Homo-oligomer: A and B are copies of this chain.
Amino acid sequence: MVKVGIVGGTGYTGVELLRILAQHPEAQLAMITSRKEAGTSVADLYPSLRGFVDLPFSDTASADLAQCDVVFYATPHGVAMADAPKMVAAGVRIIDLAADFRIQDPTVFERWYKLSHTCPDLLAEAAYGLPELNRAAIAKARVVANPGCYPTTMQLGFAPLLRNGLVDASHLIADCKSGLSGAGRKAELGTAFSEASDNLKAYGVGGHRHHPETVERLQALSDEAVGLLFTPHLVPMIRGMHSTLYARLKPHAMKTDVQALFEDAYRDEPFVDVLPPGAHPDTRSTRASNMLRIAVHRPDGPDGDTVVLLVVQDNLVKGASGQAVQCMNLMFGLPETMGLRHVPVLP
Residues on the B chain within 8 Å of A52, using CB: 343
Binding site for B on A (CB under 8 A): 12, 15, 18-19, 22-23, 46-52, 170-171, 173, 175, 177, 179-181, 183, 185-189, 191-203, 205-207, 225-229, 231, 233, 235-240, 242, 244, 246, 248, 273, 275, 278-289, 291, 293, 297, 299-303, 306, 308, 310, 316, 341, 343-347
A238 contacts B194, CB within 8 Å? yes
Q: A193's contact among B48, B180, B284, by CB below 8 Å, is which?
A: B180
A12 vs B194: C-alpha distance when bound (angstroms):
9
A181 vs B195: C-alpha distance when bound (angstroms):
9
A–B pairs, 23, beta carbons within 8 Å? A46-B346, A47-B285, A48-B285, A48-B289, A48-B343, A48-B344, A173-B246, A175-B231, A177-B177, A179-B194, A179-B198, A180-B193, A180-B194, A185-B192, A192-B192, A199-B284, A200-B283, A201-B242, A205-B297, A205-B299, A205-B310, A246-B246, A287-B345
B282 contacts A201, CB within 8 Å? yes
B189 contacts A189, CB within 8 Å? no
What copy number does this chain have within its complex?
4
| A259 CB to nearest chain B CB (Å) | 13
List 5 tightest A-B contacts by C-beta distance, closest first: A48-B344, A227-B302, A175-B175, A48-B346, A199-B284
